[in-house]
Chain A
């Protein structure tokens, strides 16, 4: 049994009504209904209209938006008052956390009681303003926190950008262009172009780590670094040293394979529990002969545009990297002749979606690609523009990375 005195006590204890005169409190208490509610019962549903406010005599409720909990309200607290005061829809849902005893007061009862006393209106107004000030303070604190997260994110993004080549190496007889556009502030795509020491070879890498956001970005730095370190500095004693015109061709594929196997085994073993993987196209290009030795680990097939108009796709030679320690990979070779262009990209290109959910597709790339008469930068520009035009108003859902290399026709010496 809840006595009128208990009800008045509860209302008086609430900051929101604390300034009201005793007579007004008594009127409100007399009209207030008592509710006993078991735990996990929904009292208010977000988005609905409501005309009742509640005061917690005992127990506990949670204010939430679906799974996200904004606040808990316990003994002496009030909820549902905003929609009662401004007649707007409920801004959050409220559900009992434990068995609770509540007082409910309807909008009509509340305004009737207040209209009897102008001072009461003033008191409620002050309480509302006080609460608004508290909310503003909370927003200030949260904004400051958010800004510090954003600053951290920006630092992360800048550090991650260091894992992409700052500039593309200038290589005689080769024209190279790259494009990288992250869908979010940190990305899972990567590419790399670097010369191998004491060698006529240049490494080209393009990769896409599964998923998005910070997790993908962390693994991107790992994949990229392992591939670069294992091919630049060798591993298990192997390194790429050209020995002249009769150099053994298998040494190139051995180092390449060793690098891929090491990267795969390291991540699949050390980070087995993460189940993070990357699709990677990785090749060593002999810049003198145009011969490209490559591994395609589950990546979109790069396209070789021959000068005569033929197109070749470099299909996979193994599965994605990072999951199965015993995975094996094959190396393949393709020789680029003068005037030929190789184009590699990530699925941000072929899987770019328009508002109807249609994908750009590999087929469209083949249709719009214009290797003839364009330098590699313009070649990428044409594809990028076509993807953007296709996407229209739809959001860029994945990172876009593209890399194109052309073996320039040699100019005959005078």
Chain B
């Protein structure tokens, strides 16, 4: 049975950044955990989120759908005209996940960083 744990952290870039550190698999069974946590932090005022993907072993299409739903939650009138989300970025996905991101072209829609500080300061 797939599991997903999420730890919430804060960092200061040009704006306050909420970091969600994901550990486990993001699939049909666990995507709701991400969705619920995202709803909670966005409800709590988060406007810029960095998803730390380094602990994710597997991400299926349900995971990509959950990430899209999260970008929608964070989207503003201004950002919806941009081809890349200024509100949501990814940090350090493992090779297997990075490969799927690249195949589906999600790197066209979301910035991906290898370095945490660089990612935080990009917001």
> Contacting chain B: which of A11-19, A47-55, A270-278, A383-391?
A270-278
| Known A210-B61, A211-B62, A326-B82: A298·B72 in contact at CB below 8 Å | no
Q: CB of B65 within 8 A of chain A?
A: yes
- Tell me, in angstroms, the Cα distance from A323 to B104 when the chains sit together: 12
Closest residue of chain B to A362 (Cβ to Cβ) is B103
Q: Which residues of B are found within 8 Å of A327, using beta-carbon distances?
A: 83, 108-109
- Tell me, in angstroms, the Cα distance from A300 to B81 when the chains sit together: 27
Interface size on B, residues (CB 8 A): 23
Work out how many contacts link A and B, with CB atoms closer than 8 A: 60
A349 CB to closest chain B CB (Å) equals 13
Docked-complex contact B108 and A319, CB < 8 angstroms: yes
Docked-complex contact B105 and A272, CB < 8 angstroms: no
Q: Which residues of A are found within 8 Å of B106, using beta-carbon distances?
A: 298, 319-320
Q: CB of B94 within 8 A of chain A?
A: no
Closest residue of chain B to A273 (Cβ to Cβ) is B72
Q: CB of B80 within 8 A of chain A?
A: yes
- Tell me, in angstroms, the Cα distance from A34 to B85 when the chains sit together: 63
| Known A210-B61, A324-B83: A275·B104 in contact at CB below 8 Å | no
Docked-complex contact B83 and A328, CB < 8 angstroms: yes
B16 CB to closest chain A CB (Å) equals 25
| Known A319-B109, A324-B109, A325-B80: A211·B103 in contact at CB below 8 Å | no
Docked-complex contact B108 and A275, CB < 8 angstroms: no
Contact with B along A324-337 (1 / 0, CB 8 A): 11111000000000
Instruction: Give the dominant DSSP class at A's interface.
Output: loop
Indicate the member of B28, B66, B72, B103 with the most A CB atoms within 10 Å.
Answer: B103
B92 CB to closest chain A CB (Å) equals 20
B64 CB to closest chain A CB (Å) equals 7
Q: CB of B69 within 8 A of chain A?
A: yes
Closest residue of chain B to A211 (Cβ to Cβ) is B61
Q: CB of B68 within 8 A of chain A?
A: yes
Docked-complex contact B105 and A326, CB < 8 angstroms: no
Docked-complex contact B64 and A277, CB < 8 angstroms: yes
Docked-complex contact B68 and A323, CB < 8 angstroms: yes
Give me the interface of B with A, judged by CB distance under 8 Å. 28, 61-62, 64-66, 68-69, 71-72, 80-83, 85, 102-109
Give me the interface of A with B, judged by CB distance under 8 Å. 210-211, 272-273, 275-277, 279, 297-298, 300, 316, 318-320, 323-328
Interchain residue pairs with CB less than 8 A apart (5):
A275-B66, A316-B105, A319-B104, A320-B64, A323-B68
